[in-house]
Amino acid sequence: MKEKYHFIAIGGIGMSGLAKYLLENGYEVSGSDICDSKYIDKLRDLGAKVYIGHDEKNLPDNCIVVASSAIKENNPEMQKARQLGLTVYHRSDVLAKLSEMGKFFIGYSGTHGKTTTSGLCAYVLEKAGLKPSYVVGGILPDIGTNAHSQDGKFFCAELDESDGTIVKYTPNTVVVNNLEADHLDFYKNGLDSIIETFNKFLANLNPNSNILLNTDCSGVKKLDCKKFISYGLKDADYTARNIVYAEDYTTYDVYYKGIFLTDIKICLKGQHNVYNSLAVLASLHVSGVDIDLIKPHFMTFTGMGRRFEKICEFNKISVYDDYAHHPTEIKATLSCAESFKDRNIIAVFQPHRYTRFANLWEDFKKSFGNVNRLIVTDVYAASEKPIENINSERFAREMSAEYIPGSIKEVAQKLYPTLKPGDIVIGLGAGTITNLGKELLSKECSVA
């Protein structure tokens, strides 16, 4: 008989993907969360029993309990699991187990771009008819899911480094897209701690594994890795050349060891997406995939959810949502806005975590050069306690920006009357800022 799994906080994008994958493989799955969501609805359709609210009575008998780093020991379901002596897995343990089910495992890692690269990999393999299995951190465009178990050769996944658990994975092919100081609540020595973790991760891999490194990134260059395959925009094994940035697409030529390999066209904006798409092409090429099979599908990939995602448009005002919550990610996202000629760019920034805001304060101040107007909301704490003198009001004052306190609904209420036809609104952050487009549209509908 297969094990039973119970997920605490099953409705998140990462946890729901793992639960879906287990359900598709015949496992019994239950879980709980504080509120319903579209992800939970899909799990229920597959047979999961999901409770709203955390309660020790939710735990089935003899189950394996799955939790993320966000779940604390005082959670009633966690307390009951400990009391009963149940096996408790971190979500990374489940992903590691799924990756060992006999597939060729391709993993995407780095400070930025994991969701886009892993999602693009799954997408092009799916569209090419290669029936990949995958667990990624966002919803695939056109396909409408974040996880799927199929009978093809490949399994691809996003490998999270935020809590050090990346060392548990042993992919056959791995991409390290970039490395910067982040997750400073965990990595106390910043980039040095991250480098140490990645060195341990790479050293644990099978000697025959393909390690692809973005050697344009100064952080990646600090890795102690002797055998690797490089990619980048210059002096690399896989190189993107002759890049053309147009309003609706980007094109470039791919050279492998100095010889033309293929040309690529993507509809994603920004130089960071050249790196992302090049990483996927290179990783699939070294993994034995026929480039001609996947090449046409790079252009039809419109991006993962919450990655410069157009949420709504009204009165010639466009509203975008982006998960960017690190200075480098914000710069990359706002560089995409450069293609909007003669449009008024309004960035609405919700700082995510007090520790990140405090440690990267000066870097955040340098991230909004491409906007005409900056609005700063209250910090999304993500369960952290406030840090003295680290707040949005002070940041806005130092940036000569606008500070709008309160909920995102209240932010939208104050922002809406000031918008004009032609404005581009971009919500930035990993928290409740994702609701900005919905709230603005609600205001428009109520006026109409």
pLDDT at 1 over 70: no
Cα 110 to Cα 115, 160, 166, 198, 429, distances in angstroms: 10, 8, 10, 9, 18
Supply φ then ψ for residue 8, to 5 degrees: -85, 120
Structural class in CATH, domain 309-447: alpha beta
* Residue 383: per-residue pLDDT: 80
Instruction: Tell me whether residue 158 is one of the annotated catalytic residues.
Output: yes
* Residue 69: per-residue pLDDT: 83
Start-end ranges of CATH 3.90.190.20 in the chain?
A: 309-447
- Candidates 20, 42, 114, 331; catalytic one: 114
Start-end ranges of CATH 3.40.50.720 in the chain?
A: 4-91
Instruction: Tell me whether residue 251 is one of the annotated catalytic residues.
Output: no
Instruction: Tell me whether residue 173 is one of the annotated catalytic residues.
Output: no
* Residue 448: per-residue pLDDT: 54
CA distance 177 to 217: 8
pTM score above 0.95: no
The predicted model gives 127-150 an average pLDDT of: 95
- Candidates 115, 116, 250, 355; catalytic one: 115
- Candidates 77, 126, 158, 439; catalytic one: 158
CATH placement of domain 100-297? 3.40.1190.10
Task: Work out the mean pLDDT of the chain and round it to a whole number.
Answer: 94
The DSSP element (H or E) to which 124 belongs, if any, is helix 114-127
Burial of 442 (0-12, 13-18, 19+ CB in 10 A): middle
* Residue 132: per-residue pLDDT: 98
**Residue among 69, 65, 36, 64 nearest 50 (CA):** 36
pLDDT, tens digit, for every residue of 159-181?
999 999 999 999 999 999 999 99
Start-end ranges of CATH 3.40.1190.10 in the chain?
A: 100-297
Three-state DSSP at 426 gives strand
For 257-402, where are the alpha helices, taking DSSP H only?
271-286, 291-294, 327-336, 354-359, 361-365, 392-399
For the chain, give the number of residues. Answer: 448
The answer to whether domain 4-91 has CATH 3.10.20.520 is no
